[in-house]
Structure 1
Amino acid sequence: MAKFLIRISTILLLFYASTCSATVYTVGDNTGWDISADLDSWAKGKTFAVGDTLLFQYSQYHSVSEVTKENYERCNTTNVLQSSSNGNTSFVLMSPEDRYFVCGNRLHCLGGMKLHVSVLGNQAMSPVGAPQPQPGGALPPGSSKSNSPSSSSSILHRVRIDSSVLAFLGSLVVLFGLM
């Protein structure tokens, strides 16, 4: 009976992994959220969907603010929707809409340090109760941002997260732990 449950669990695990995932995008890839990054080119060709996360990594000389379209176009940093300056900031894309981000330093924004993304509909949904990164949230332990990104951040600039798989595995642990 245990072998049967393990086989069924493996099949379900593969099913969940193929159907429910979200992407974490490190804004600017190797360069990060920086005045030297070509953020328009970085965003081209990417498809941002509900459930995806934008991870902004930056030095002490920058910050990231979400703003309205009008404030984005004018690089107005006085009336922001949300802002962070901790060096590692995540924004979860929770609904299909246009999102606008600028550096808190207006001169940097005017120099091109701003990002517009169009979020598409429910292509990647996380289960209810799954942990979600929050604006101003930190990276997992051991992660950090320096002025020169590590080789791991350049390789892992796009990470697949399968939160439903984690929830499923957690339920299996509970199930088998109770048997």
Structure 2
Amino acid sequence: MAVPFKASYPLFLCFILFCGVNCTEFEVGGHEGWVVPKTKDNAQMFNQWAAQNRFKIDDTLLFKYEKDSVMEVTEEEYEKCVSTRPLFFSNNGNTVFKVDRPGLFFFISGVRGHCERGQKMIIKVLDIEATPSPQYENGTAPKPHSKSGVAELTPMRIMTASTVFVMATFFLQLYV
């Protein structure tokens, strides 16, 4: 027996809302990752990278690194390159940080000397719904990041399991 379409209206609304969610995962620093800049000329490399991207609430930052850490700190701690009580700390080498509010976020390395050498970053998160901008270098398309030559999707669109579930349930109700 088919379910009347009117009974599917609430589910259809959920489908539209979930499909409208558009969050992006940004790999901090691009293919080089969260590393100490090699030269003093590159001391602003993370802030330059951040300036090329548009961040919004629910986006995630992926910090990839070896033998290091990442901390979210206050503006004062960012300027001093030191924090005894970071707002966020991780040292697992593959840190995902979810942006949960608009405004400025300040990040530094927790390893002594790394922040002073340029391993720090400020991101600005927009207060409005924004379409994410692709990560372009010098106006060219993103380059492949993997050794196999296959381009990685950065920033990548994220479709959650709940979105897939809602979509499947909606279409099943239409045809059952």
Q: Scaled by the length of structure 1, what TM-score is found?
A: 0.68
Instruction: Verify the 8 A CA contact 1:49 1:122 in the aligned structure 2.
Output: yes
Q: Does 1:158 align with 2:155?
A: yes
Q: Does 1:25 align with 2:26?
A: yes
| Paired residue secondary structure (1:21) | coil
Deviation at 1:52, TM superposition (A): 0.5
1:143-170 CA deviation, whole Å, 9 max, x = no partner? xxxxxx734796333111144xx43430
Report the AA paired with residue 99 of structure 2: L
Of 73, 78, 87, the residue aligned with 1:72 is 78
- 2:119 corresponds to: 113
Instruction: Verify the 8 A CA contact 2:36 2:114 in the aligned structure 1.
Output: yes
**Structure-to-structure mapping, 1:137-152, within 5 angstroms:** 150-151=146-147
Count residues with an aligned counterpart: 146
Fraction of identical pairs, as percent: 34
Instruction: Verify the 8 A CA contact 2:15 2:167 in the aligned structure 1.
Output: no
* Closer, same or farther: CA 15–79 of 1 in aligned 2, 3 Å: closer
Instruction: Verify the 8 A CA contact 1:30 1:154 in the aligned structure 2.
Output: no
* Closer, same or farther: CA 90–43 of 1 in aligned 2, 3 Å: same
* Closer, same or farther: CA 23–153 of 1 in aligned 2, 3 Å: farther
* Closer, same or farther: CA 45–109 of 1 in aligned 2, 3 Å: same
Deviation at 1:14, TM superposition (A): 8.2
Which whole-Å CA distance do the structure 2 matches of 1:27 and 1:153 have between them?
19
Q: Does 1:83 align with 2:79?
A: no
**Structure-to-structure mapping, 1:88-99, within 5 angstroms:** 88-99=94-105
- Runs of 4+ residues deviating >3 angstroms: 12-17, 149-154, 172-175
Report the AA paired with residue 77 of structure 1: S
Which whole-Å CA distance do the structure 1 matches of 2:62 and 2:54 have between them?
15
* Closer, same or farther: CA 85–92 of 1 in aligned 2, 3 Å: same
Which whole-Å CA distance do the structure 2 matches of 1:112 and 1:153 have between them?
30
Report the AA paired with residue 155 of structure 1: E
Which whole-Å CA distance do the structure 2 matches of 1:54 and 1:154 have between them?
19
Q: Scaled by the length of structure 2, what TM-score is found?
A: 0.69
Which whole-Å CA distance do the structure 1 matches of 2:151 and 2:65 have between them?
14
- 2:137 corresponds to: none
In structure 2, stretches of 5+ residues that fail to align are 6-10, 131-144
Which whole-Å CA distance do the structure 2 matches of 1:52 and 1:27 have between them?
12
Which whole-Å CA distance do the structure 2 matches of 1:25 and 1:88 have between them?
13
